[in-house]
Chain A
Amino acid sequence: MSAGMNATELLLHDAATMADGVRAGAVSASALVQASLARIAATEPRVNAFTAVVQERALRRAAQVDAALAGAGAARARELPLLGVPFAVKNLFDIAGLATLAGSKIEQGAEPARADARLVRRLESAGAVLVGALNMDEYAYGFTTENSHYGPTRNPHDLSRTAGGSSGGSGAAVAAGQVPITLGSDTNGSIRVPASLNGVYGLKPTFGRLPRTGSYPFVSSLDHLGPFARSVRDLALSYDAMQGPEGHGPHDPGCAQRGAEPVAPMLGQSLHGLRIGVLGGWFRDQAGPEALAAVGIVADALGARRMVELPMVEAGRAAAFIISNSEGAALHLDDLRRRPEDFEPLSRDRLLAGALLPAAWVARAQRVRRLYAEAVARVLADFDVLLAPATPCAATPLGSQTLQLNGRSLPLRPSLGLLTQPISCIGLPVCAVPVWGAHESLPIGVQVIAAPWREDLVLRVAATLEAAGVTWSPVAALSV
């Protein structure tokens, strides 16, 4: 409830509550945006989630929202679901007037974007106010946001640890209470990994659901965009605001251009009759104790007892690796030739190697990916929802090189995506939900997975878990 709250207090609630406060006249959009800007200024020296704050633009936009509420169009303005809500986007989304960095030094020299990305425009059309751009792994190739050009983003729940990646700034900004909603991208896990490590909700929609127009690509055949939030209704409101076919101007050839299928009105529906399975095999073998405990907590709450294994998971995950390595490198071939020294040292050698992969490997990986998708679809005929850990472990200390996992020592940076990569490879919708108590002090996420185009199911399950107090997403205890 927003009654009696000032903007600073309201900022620590979810976006839906903030919009209610603005709608009711309890707080202005300008005051809310100023509170967000103040919290960003106070916490950024420790968190480093932002690479740009668009203060002037944000205050101008917030003033427009307030003017609309005071004018002839007030009734229409009050219907906007994200009225006056501050948000921020991973810096691979175009923001008019800024160079789209995609986490790189190289793109600092790019022409400033002429227009906002499609999804930025859609959120602003829903009443939200953009306040800035967020840190990420260079060109989205990483899982830790240890960015050598812009510094590492630190986990707000433990500043000595990673915020995950590649959308690390997007996860951290929400966990730090800087903004209630952010956007990120997910090619192999880059929404779900930071959602897991920062203890926030993250939605990776079905591949092709949301248009990517005006965003910097990583792997076109695998890239997804989606929101982060501290409540499931915020995920649903922002996701609903971003759905729908592209009408005018350039459009994303990878987008299915489906009509909007709003989920926010469905969140309270009963889960009675849903067939919920728990993924075994690969999804247990590649998970540490806290990851397995988190899945156990969620499965118990949902009464999910049936274990199920997906066929071909290892091959599917490997196919995603090959496709990403090759396609991601090919995108940057000209710069790899001309100025390899300007790339992120943590990913340059991997990109150079990717450019050298035989073409026949990549073509075969794309065909194995199809076969894997068909095999998983047969499993999904018997299940509505599947549960799996989102990351093998909770947030690791910044600078860690290896992950100790069930007696094996694995390279940390690629291994944080072991459990997400096999799911995004075949484009299934996933909501990552934050679980506390599985690790002694840190959150860890669980993937709630469904068949293509069934975002409604993953968000209904997430909303049920949240309402039951099984998952929650607190603002980190950063003293301000």
Chain B
Amino acid sequence: MTPAQLTAAQWQAYVDAAAPLLGLPVRAPYRAGVLQYLALAESMMAAVDAVPLPASVEPAVRFEPVSPVTPSEPDARKPA
């Protein structure tokens, strides 16, 4: 199923549902701007979604496990 482009009313409904979930106060003066930027992000996501993505592609973030460091055992990762 291809993602649908949301209407302004659908985005408003999304904000009404998601903002309380996150505890975000999207007050009246901010609302038009928030909807504008959500629509912009949606248009960006269309370009991202258009790329075929095999499961073998890893995300471009990495995590390094953190080893404990004791005074008698210097951190081997770090240069002397």
Chain A interface (Cβ < 8 Å from any Cβ of B): 221, 245-247, 251, 253, 257, 259, 312, 314-315, 317-319, 321-322, 325, 333, 336-337, 340, 348-350, 352-357, 361, 363-371, 373, 414
Q: Is the CB of A247 within 8 A of B79?
A: yes
Query: Is A356 a contact partner of B53 (Cβ separation < 8 A)?
Result: no
Contact of B45 with A318 in the complex, beta carbons under 8 Å:
yes
Shortest beta-carbon distance from A430 to chain B in Å: 18
Determine whether the beta carbon of A366 is less than 8 Å from that of B59.
Answer: yes
Query: Closest residue of chain B to A366, judged by CB?
Result: B59
Nearest chain A CB to B57's CB is how many angstroms away?
5
Please determine whether A363 and B59 come into contact, CB atoms closer than 8 angstroms: yes
The answer to whether B22 and A365 touch across the interface, beta carbons within 8 angstroms, is no
Q: Choose among A221, A251, A259, A352 the residue that contacts B30 (Cβ–Cβ < 8 A).
A: A352
Contact status B19-A356, CB under 8 Å: yes
Interchain pairs with CB closer than 8 A, number: 115
Contact of A352 among B24, B49, B64 (CB under 8 A): B24
- Do B60 and A370 touch (CB < 8 A)? yes
Q: Which of B45, B57, B58 has the most CB of A within 10 A?
A: B45
B15 contact set on A, CB distance < 8 A: 356
Query: How many whole Å from A343's CB to the nearest CB in chain B?
Result: 10
Q: Judge whether A367 and B41 touch: CB under 8 Å.
A: no
Q: Using CB atoms, name the residue of chain B closest to A339.
A: B25
A258 to B40, CA, bound (A): 38
Also in contact, A356 and B14, with CB within 8 A (given A336-B24, A348-B30): yes
Which of chain B's residues have a CB closer than 8 A to the CB of A349? 30, 32-34, 36-37
Please, could you name 27 A-B residue pairs with CB atoms under 8 Å apart, sorted by A?
A: A221-B60, A247-B78, A257-B79, A259-B79, A315-B48, A315-B50, A315-B51, A318-B45, A318-B46, A318-B48, A321-B41, A325-B41, A333-B24, A336-B24, A340-B30, A350-B33, A352-B24, A352-B37, A353-B35, A356-B18, A356-B19, A357-B38, A361-B41, A366-B61, A367-B58, A368-B53, A370-B59
A357 touches B30 (CB 8 A): no
B68 within 8 A of A: no
Is A353 within 8 A of B24, CB to CB? no
- Lowest 8 CB-CB distances: which A-B pairs, in order? A349-B33, A353-B37, A366-B59, A318-B47, A318-B44, A369-B60, A370-B60, A321-B44
New A-B pairs, 14, CB < 8 Å, besides A245-B79, A314-B47, A315-B47: A257-B78, A318-B44, A318-B45, A318-B47, A319-B48, A321-B41, A340-B25, A348-B33, A349-B30, A353-B33, A353-B37, A365-B45, A366-B61, A371-B53
Say whether B51 contacts A337, CB under 8 Å: no
Bound-state CA distance A353–B26 (Å) is 9
A10 to B67, CA, bound (A): 50
Q: Which residues of B contact A (CB under 8 A)?
A: 14-15, 18-19, 22-27, 30, 32-38, 40-41, 44-51, 53, 57-61, 64, 77-79
Contacts of A348 in B (CB 8 A): 30, 33
Residues from chain A with Cβ under 8 Å of B47 in the complex: 314-315, 317-318
Shortest CB-to-CB span from A266 to chain B, Å, is 23
> A221, A246, A318, A353: which contacts B78 (Cβ < 8 A)?
A246
B38-A368 in contact (CB<8A): no
CB of A322 within 8 A of CB of B78, answer: no
Q: Which residues of A contact B57 (CB under 8 A)?
A: 367-368, 370-371
Q: A318-B45, A322-B44, A322-B45 are in contact. Are A352 and B26 (CB under 8 A)?
A: yes
Which A residues lie within 8 Å of B23 (CB)? Answer: 337
Measured in the bound complex, the distance between the Cα atoms of B32 and A336 in whole Å is 17
Most buried by A among B41, B45, B48, B79: B48
Query: Complex: how many Å from CA A129 to CA B33?
Result: 43
Cβ–Cβ contact B24 & A361, under 8 A: no
Q: Which residues of A contact B27 (CB under 8 A)?
A: 340
Is B41 a contact of A354 with CB atoms below 8 Å?
Answer: yes
Interface centre among B37, B46, B57 (most CB of A within 10 A): B37
Q: Measured between C-beta atoms, what is the minimum distance from B54 to chain A in Å?
A: 9
Residues A361 and B45 in contact, CB atoms below 8 Å apart: yes
